[in-house]
């Protein structure tokens, strides 16, 4: 009952936010006026905000910005000891700095380190928190570019990457984050520049309590579906997530933009029913996946779980099993990676369900932007399958889906499974990589499979039983994060460019209606079937075998 009330209140809040937030994002990315601060930024970087870009130029701008971001963040970490507010921390080792830079630039936020013991305040603020903003904005910008591809006719222009990036940071992410940070501070999340305090415990022992600018990073960490925690315990730490209601707020922030972007999509294409159809697919997948995960966690398997009525190991008593499972569902159904409980301690089927959430492509509702463009790719594939059934050229939103468009959509869908399964196979074949597994057998394999699933889908959560701060995993996971982020983005932008060049195709009696429940059900079916066919053998070797053991 607690889980139902918790989830129902979240759904109600998100439903109330869908229209105003989606409309607000649409106005900000489609308006003509620039703020004074934005004009200063454009002059500083030498950009003409009125000059729109072809898809190739848009992609090159995005990749160049991301490359510079990796180098800057790597340099900040390596030079940390010489920077102000380092709070006594040395420079981050090279391979760990590389992994962290790749992680935060790709919106993955995988952490092979303890935040409070590794990163100084300046690196946290000027490095990690800044990337939380811009990596989230990059994802939304790509989604907006794809939507423009559907909405525009006979043009090769998709907008201007730099304008989209700046507007999304300044007008969308920053104001919501400021408001959320204030609320979190009121709830007990700390926000200071202190190096910490030495206190005496009730038992008479000395304990160091760390400080730092936590609330400001916590807000964008959740809103931007980033997930990197200021502390090693992430959102299970009382300085990051003090109470049950802040736990609810953080889940709401995780889902807010992903749920609202389909409304932005509907406004762009001039048919709000299309947005409702996409958000309905997201909702069906999210509710089903979260219900299965919660059910697995309240199952009574084993002596201790039977005695307490649920699987409570690795769960914060402030939140309880059900609310923690809802958090786990939200964080793995998006590209967030924040955790308020230990996923490695979940039941085999509960941990397996968290993996399946990511394997779905994190489209329910997915990461900031990446969820929408991933769902639109699934919609394209669904329309193509429907076209094959009736023997006609498929079309979606007035655009014909020919060989080029389907190949790009297919490449998008194949990239992540190839990275996950290929990298996991290499890791299991390498003796040094296997040595990092805390457990042998199916659960040990699940730890490795979860790590590469999380990296390739730019999630960032982990089965912490895997010791990933090694040369192999720092390099391998960093490469998988970069390829898993930017290869799909290139395919999406190429698809957007191809669609934008087409003329409008008039709907006929044979056109598949894409705003009705039938289409919603078909997209849900395609998402589940694609996942099942791709990952089922690996899941059978890992969490399924573990659960049946």
**Averaged pLDDT for residues 276-302:** 89
Contact 285, 524 (CB under 8 A): yes
pLDDT number for residue 392: 75
φ/ψ bin of 108: left (φ > 0), alpha (ψ from -120 to 50), beta (otherwise): alpha
Q: What is the Cα–Cα distance from 35 to 170, expressed in whole angstroms?
A: 9
pLDDT number for residue 441: 86
Number of H helices, E strands in the chain: 22, 4
Q: What is the Cα–Cα distance from 438 to 465, expressed in whole angstroms?
A: 5
In the chain, % of residues over pLDDT 90: 73
pLDDT number for residue 257: 97
pLDDT number for residue 114: 87
pLDDT number for residue 303: 56
- Give the angle subtended at the CA of 52 by the CAs of 46 and 55, to the nearest 5°: 110
**Averaged pLDDT for residues 198-227:** 91
CA-to-CA separations, 300 to 303, 305, 308, 343, 504, in angstroms, rounded: 8, 5, 8, 17, 56
Residue-number span of the structural domain to which 113 is assigned:
2-548
Decide if pLDDT at 304 tops 60: no
Q: What is the Cα–Cα distance from 338 to 309, expressed in whole angstroms?
A: 26
pLDDT number for residue 2: 73
What is the helix (H) or strand (E) element at residue 208, kind and residue range?
A: strand 206-209
Q: What is the Cα–Cα distance from 367 to 253, expressed in whole angstroms?
A: 11
Q: What is the Cα–Cα distance from 207 to 118, expressed in whole angstroms?
A: 18
Decide if pLDDT at 212 tops 60: yes
Structure-block tokens of residue 489: 């983005």
**Averaged pLDDT for residues 326-351:** 91
In the chain, % of residues over pLDDT 70: 97
Q: What is the Cα–Cα distance from 492 to 528, expressed in whole angstroms?
A: 21
Q: What is the Cα–Cα distance from 354 to 464, expressed in whole angstroms?
A: 14
Could you tell me the sign of the dihedral formed by the alpha carbons of 144, 145, 147, 153, in that order?
Answer: positive
Q: What is the Cα–Cα distance from 287 to 357, expressed in whole angstroms?
A: 11
Helix pair angle (272-297, 517-541), 10° resolution: 40
pLDDT number for residue 438: 79
φ/ψ bin of 54: left (φ > 0), alpha (ψ from -120 to 50), beta (otherwise): beta
- Give the angle subtended at the CA of 269 by the CAs of 264 and 270, to the nearest 5°: 95
pLDDT number for residue 203: 87
**Averaged pLDDT for residues 57-76:** 97
Non-local (6+) Cβ contacts of 539 within 8 A are 352, 355, 356
CA-to-CA separations, 41 to 155, 173, 177, in angstroms, rounded: 27, 17, 20
Secondary structure (DSSP) of 235-272: GGSTTT--SHHHHHHHHHHHHHHHHHHHHHHHHHHT-H
Decide if pLDDT at 469 tops 90: no
Q: What is the Cα–Cα distance from 529 to 544, expressed in whole angstroms?
A: 17
**How far is C-alpha 136 from the geometric centre of its chain's CA atoms?**
9
Determine how β-strand 197-200 pairs with β-strand 206-209.
Answer: antiparallel
The number of folded domains in the chain is 1
Q: What is the Cα–Cα distance from 29 to 318, expressed in whole angstroms?
A: 40
pTM check: above 0.85: yes
**Averaged pLDDT for residues 94-101:** 95
CA-to-CA separations, 275 to 152, 390, 454, in angstroms, rounded: 17, 25, 28
**Averaged pLDDT for residues 139-146:** 97
Structure-block tokens of residue 415: 């990239």
Q: What is the Cα–Cα distance from 384 to 514, expressed in whole angstroms?
A: 12
pLDDT number for residue 459: 94
Non-local (6+) Cβ contacts of 347 within 8 A are 296, 297, 299, 301, 305, 311, 547
pLDDT number for residue 465: 81
pLDDT number for residue 307: 55
- Residue 198: phi and psi, rounded to 5, are -95, 120
Decide if pLDDT at 309 tops 60: no
Structure-block tokens of residue 17: 């936010």
> 414-463 pLDDT, tens per residue?
999 999 999 999 999 988 888 888 778 888 899 999 999 999 999 999 88
End-to-end CA distance of the chain: 30
């Amino acid at each position: 009952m607690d889980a139902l009330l918790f989830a129902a209140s979240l759904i109600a809040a998100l439903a109330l936010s869908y229209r105003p937030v989606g409309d607000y994002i649409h106005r900000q990315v489609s308006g003509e006026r620039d703020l004074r601060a934005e004009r200063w930024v454009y002059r500083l970087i030498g950009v003409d905000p009125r000059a729109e870009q072809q898809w190739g130029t848009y992609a090159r701008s995005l990749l160049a910005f991301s490359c510079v971001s990796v180098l800057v963040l790597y340099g900040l970490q390596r030079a940390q000891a010489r920077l102000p507010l380092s709070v006594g921390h040395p420079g981050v080792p090279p391979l760990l700095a590389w992994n962290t830079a790749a992680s935060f630039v790709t919106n993955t936020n995988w952490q092979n380190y303890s935040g409070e013991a590794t990163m100084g305040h300046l690196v946290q603020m000027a490095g990690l928190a800044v990337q939380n903003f811009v990596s989230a904005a990059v994802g939304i910008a790509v989604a907006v570019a794809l939507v423009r591809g559907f909405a525009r006719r006979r043009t090769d222009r998709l907008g201007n990457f730099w304008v989209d990036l700046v507007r999304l940071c300044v007008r969308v992410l920053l104001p919501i984050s400021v408001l959320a940070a204030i609320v979190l501070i009121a709830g007990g999340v700390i926000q200071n520049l202190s190096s910490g305090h030495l206190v005496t415990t009730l038992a008479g022992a000395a304990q160091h309590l760390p400080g730092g600018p936590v609330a400001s990073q916590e807000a964008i960490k959740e809103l931007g579906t980033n997930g990197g925690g200021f502390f090693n315990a992430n959102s299970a730490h009382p300085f990051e997530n003090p109470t049950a209601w802040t736990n609810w707020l953080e889940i709401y922030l995780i889902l807010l933009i992903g749920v609202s972007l389909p409304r932005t999509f509907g406004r762009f294409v001039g048919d709000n029913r299309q947005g409702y159809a996409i958000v309905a697919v997201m909702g069906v997948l999210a509710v089903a996946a979260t219900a299965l995960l919660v059910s697995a966690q309240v199952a009574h398997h084993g002596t201790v779980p039977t005695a307490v009525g649920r699987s409570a190991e690795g769960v914060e008593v402030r939140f309880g099993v059900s609310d923690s499972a809802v958090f786990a569902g939200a964080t793995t159904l998006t590209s967030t990676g924040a955790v308020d409980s230990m996923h490695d301690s979940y039941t085999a089927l509960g941990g397996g369900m968290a993996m399946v959430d990511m394997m779905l492509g994190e489209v329910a509702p997915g990461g900031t932007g990446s969820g929408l463009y991933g769902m639109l790719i699934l919609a394209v594939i669904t329309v193509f399958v429907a076209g094959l059934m009736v023997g006609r050229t498929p079309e979606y939103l007035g655009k014909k889906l020919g060989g080029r468009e389907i190949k790009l959509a297919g490449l998008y869908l194949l990239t992540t499974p190839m990275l996950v399964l290929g990298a996991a196979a290499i890791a299991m074949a390498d003796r040094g990589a296997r040595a990092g597994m805390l457990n042998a057998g199916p659960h040990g394999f699940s730890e490795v499979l979860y790590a590469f699933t999380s990296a390739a889908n730019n999630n960032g959560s982990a089965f912490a039983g895997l010791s990933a701060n090694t040369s192999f995993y720092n390099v391998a996971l960093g490469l998988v994060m970069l390829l898993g982020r930017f290869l799909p983005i290139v395919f999406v932008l190429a698809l957007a460019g191809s669609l934008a060049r087409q003329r409008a195709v008039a709907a006929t009696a044979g056109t598949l209606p894409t705003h009705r429940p039938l289409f919603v059900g078909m997209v849900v079916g395609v998402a589940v079937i694609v996942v099942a066919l791709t990952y089922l053998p690996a899941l059978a070797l890992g969490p399924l075998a573990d659960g049946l053991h």
